[in-house]
Chains A and B, each alone.
Chain A
Amino acid sequence: MGLTVVSGHGHTWRLTEQIGSGSEGFVYGVDDTRPLVAKLVPDPPEPEAYRRRVARLVRQRREPRTVGLLSGTPVRLAWPLVQVRTAAGAAADRVDGYVMPDMRHAYQPFSHLLSTSARRAFLPRATWATALRAALALARLLGELHAEGYVVGDLKTDNLWVDEGGRVGMADVDSWQFRDGRELFPGRMRTPGYTAPERLGTATAAPPDTTSDDFALAVLVHQLLLAGLHPFAGHPADGGDYRSYDDNVLHGRCRIVDRTSVLLPRSVPPADLLPRRLTELFRRAFTDPAHRPTAAAWAEALAAELTPGRLRVCAVNARHVHTVERPWCPWCDQAEQGSDSYPDQPREEA
């Protein structure tokens, strides 16, 4: 026997094993012929508002603005399909949640694209072109969400999914900030390393907006294009102690903005592997909130880097893909420093 959840219309689902837990919710497998999972959120800060939030999202699934976001296969968003509550116990003991598509069906965790060992194990064919495609897919998706009035608020790797073709999916839709009629459902969450500087340093979290999403997007695009490296990674070069990414964000310690501001190992991917236009976008994203590139601007620039003739494959290692702007292979340069983010596959023994 496991947990059972029931919808408002009396449809019941048996839950299978717990497959994940986040800061507020627990995700369970659902016994169903379709790939579905259920998220349960015990004791949200405002239970009534949470139930209303989920109900509105479920209803919005049928609205024109959302239908476009949910078109295409595989589906890009783990949108709440049905509002549910646990079936057993007294009303006060029951836990609220919703049923959504199981993103594991078509995708892998986004973090699999961000470390050499995980790429090798789970996405063995991934190259820099895959990273570029994933960055483009993410920027497009975020641009479309913003155009429809949604703010993600807590954009981070844990909420994202990716496949070998660089397609990107997003979960945790119930933490977004959005309007429904006159009611605003605020975003509350923020995650270390993905929070815009203007939202840092305040005791109570300033509400997110599209601009703070655009900051998180720039961080994620940087991580994708530099094989996992966070843009604010590095030990402070002024001799002080390292504290956190957020501390580096607040003090503007960022290699791409000022390469003397941080100390990094020699083996990190070289900064000049980036096309000039993208470097310029990163600089603006990490220095000036007023001129931070939008998701749409990122999508346009990233798409341009994927047009025919913009990419080159290294003569030494076919997994080394780079921009034509760089005359010689940046990944070979990195390998010479003792670390290769896209190593050749080990040959099978004959």
Chain B
Amino acid sequence: MSVDGIGFGSGYEERQPVLLLLDTSASMGRPEEHPRIDELNRALTRWFDGVRAQERLRTRVEVCLLTFDSAVRVHDPGPGRLVPVEEADADRLFVPVDSMRPPTLRAEGLTRLTDAVETALDLARARYRALQRQRVPVRRPFVWVLTDGAPSDARGRPLDAAALEGTAGRVRQGEVRGEWVFQVIGVHGADLPMLRVLAPKATSPLADLDFGRILDLLFQSTDDSSPDQDADLVHQQVNDRAARLARMDRLESDLR
């Protein structure tokens, strides 16, 4: 039996949507002498340039990029810039991983993490349903958050555990229902206890790894985890792999 209109690379690989949420709040502009945001920009450009050589990812993975500071924005691949979600055309927010041209990010403002997560979950669900309707063999989306801060509300006050509970519950429920896999990576001084309220088993502290290695680690997890696996098992694998990666990195850097 056949259907028309399934197209992507060679066309019949599984499709793996990924939503990448990047913290662009003011703290990412630190330290002043070499701001983390510059490091992140370089890593994004280099990583998405290099992905063309990775056949397995190139043929399967599609990416949607979001940023959050005082506002939540999504990368609109058409004009190639960050726009408020409601201004973007939802059907074209995901692009094949090898045609992603990441915009240059600037660090400013607050850390509206929960709004960003809620937006990403909506987009993940909509994309997954749209592809299922088109009869594309799609796997559950991965949602990844990279943050160096602590979540705040619209006025910059830090959110407490109770304020995170609503979003945390939604994340968790979706994971149990197999709707997505949600992973938080805390870098450089992130408030890990607070991030663990949001994602108890899916928060990895990766302060010592550079952003390129973190992206490698995350994208690799799309390749060797099964969509039938419990999300917690995927989290365990990511955490184990992160620990091994960090160990090799320490070993190498000790000798530099």
A-side residues, CB < 8 A to B, are 1-4, 18, 21, 23-24, 26, 40, 42-43, 86, 88-89, 93, 95, 109, 111-112, 114-118, 157-158, 191-192, 227-230, 233-235, 237, 241-247, 259-260, 262-268, 339, 341
Q: In the complex, A18→B225 CA distance in Å?
A: 23
The verdict on B11 contacting chain A, using a C-beta distance below 8 Å, is: yes
B-side residues, CB < 8 A to A, are 1-7, 9-14, 55-56, 59, 132, 135-139, 178, 216, 220, 224-228, 237, 241, 243-245, 247-248, 251-252, 254-256
Q: In the complex, A158→B59 CA distance in Å?
A: 15
* Main DSSP-derived SS at the B contact region: loop
Contacting pair A23 B224 (CB below 8 A): yes
Identify the 10 closest CB pairs spanning chains A and B, nearest first.
Answer: A192-B226, A244-B227, A265-B6, A235-B135, A266-B2, A111-B55, A242-B137, A1-B255, A115-B10, A42-B244
Contacting pair B1 A262 (CB below 8 A): yes
Contacting pair B255 A241 (CB below 8 A): no
Contacting pair A268 B12 (CB below 8 A): yes
Contacting pair A118 B55 (CB below 8 A): yes
Q: What are the residues of chain B within 8 A of A264 when measuring CB–CB?
A: 1-3, 12
| Known A115-B55, A228-B12, A268-B11: A263·B135 in contact at CB below 8 Å | yes
Taking the nearest CB of chain A, how far is it from the CB of B223, in angstroms? 8
Q: What are the residues of chain A within 8 A of B254 when measuring CB–CB?
A: 88-89
| Known A89-B251, A247-B228: A241·B132 in contact at CB below 8 Å | yes
Q: In the complex, A109→B59 CA distance in Å?
A: 15
Contacting pair A95 B248 (CB below 8 A): yes
Contacting pair B59 A43 (CB below 8 A): no
| Known A115-B10, A115-B55: A42·B247 in contact at CB below 8 Å | yes
Q: What are the residues of chain A within 8 A of B6 when measuring CB–CB?
A: 265
Contacting pair A21 B220 (CB below 8 A): yes
| Known A115-B9, A117-B10, A229-B12: A244·B139 in contact at CB below 8 Å | yes
